[in-house]
Amino acid sequence: MSEDGRRPAAADPAEGDAPERRPVVERVGLAAVAAVLAVLFAFVAMASWVGGELFLAAMGALGGAVTVWLALRTLLRG
């Protein structure tokens, strides 16, 4: 914090400084939340498939796949 108690201004991305990586605990926590959401999407996809709603099943499966992809990206990239 600066002398007047305010946070410093965000660095200009054009200056070439790389953004700070998230701590490992935060990345694991975000991935865990994403895993729970992916399970819920998978449940929606399976229930929709059994109920004959093929479009909703496809959307649920796609949502689950994208959620898993982003969780892995969060873990690996930070």
Average pLDDT over residues 43-70: 95
Calculate what percentage of the chain has a pLDDT beyond 70.
76
- Which contacts qualify for 39-48: CB closer than 8 Å, 24 or more apart? 39/64, 41/67
The phi, psi pair for 2, rounded to 5°, reads -85, 180
pLDDT exceeds cutoff 90 at 33: yes
